[in-house]
Chains A and B, each alone.
Chain A
Amino acid sequence: NAGVTQTPKFQVLKTGQSMTLQCAQDMNHEYMSWYRQDPGMGLRLIHYSVGAGITDQGEVPNGYNVSRSTTEDFPLRLLSAAPSQTSVYFCASWGGGAGNTEAFFGQGTRLTVV
């Protein structure tokens, strides 16, 4: 069982470039989310989705876009990369509701913007 798969694992971008971080899950989970991890800040929620076609903003959404056209995929787009977006990004999915609250995380994407 692959679980949550994130690609790429590492990426270096120049300021102003755009890119898409991919996230796919094979557990048929309705809920997915993107977090960034920065030193001393823990995991901060960027965007989340409660099902295909439904997305909403988290705590730090500026500079990022998401879409959820299928249950399996939840890509995160950086429209114009900035050095402040240098971080480690994690995608998570879970089934939702009582008894399905355990979120499964991908291995992360380490992004550096120069």
Chain B
Amino acid sequence: DQQVKQNSPSLSVQEGRISILNCDYTNSMFDYFLWYKKYPAEGPTFLISISSIKDKNEDGRFTVFLNKSAKHLSLHIVPSQPGDSAVYFCAATYNFNKFYFGSGTKLNVKP
């Protein structure tokens, strides 16, 4: 059973608008969460992360929010750009030995 879930396989937004990608997890032991971005024919690349002791982390256009009580995190991209079009994976860990990944959300930013 997947411990990290991304229920939206795809998302389409207009350039300049906000993109919100969602992720849910079931294991309450997870204490560190990450987002990765993946372009076709490439490996995933790290985007942003958040520790469970925080509820928000910001890096330029990217902000990750964590709601521990709901076991939910989201990635906000503002403003969205066509170059942001990619598959986004959320991941979680509780001992840094291994990461559990969601199924991914394909973001399409339309010019």
Contact = CB atoms under 8 A, between A and B. Distances in A.
A58 B98 contact: yes
A105 B43 contact: yes
B98 A43 contact: no
Contact of A107 (B2, B36, B43): B43
A103 B46 contact: yes
A90 to B, nearest CB: 6
A43 B96 contact: no
A80 interface: no
Contacts of A107: 41-43
Contacts, number: 67
A102 interface: yes
A96 interface: yes
A74 interface: no
Q: How large is the interface on A (under 10, 10 to 19, 20 to 34, 35 or more residues)?
A: 20 to 34
Given A40-B9, A101-B49, A106 B99 contact: no
Nearest to A45: B98
A44 interface: yes
Given A45-B99, A103-B46, 11 more contacts: A40-B9, A40-B103, A42-B6, A42-B102, A43-B91, A48-B98, A97-B96, A101-B96, A102-B46, A104-B46, A108-B42
Interface of B: 2, 4, 6, 9, 32, 34, 36, 41-46, 49, 51, 89, 91, 93, 96-104
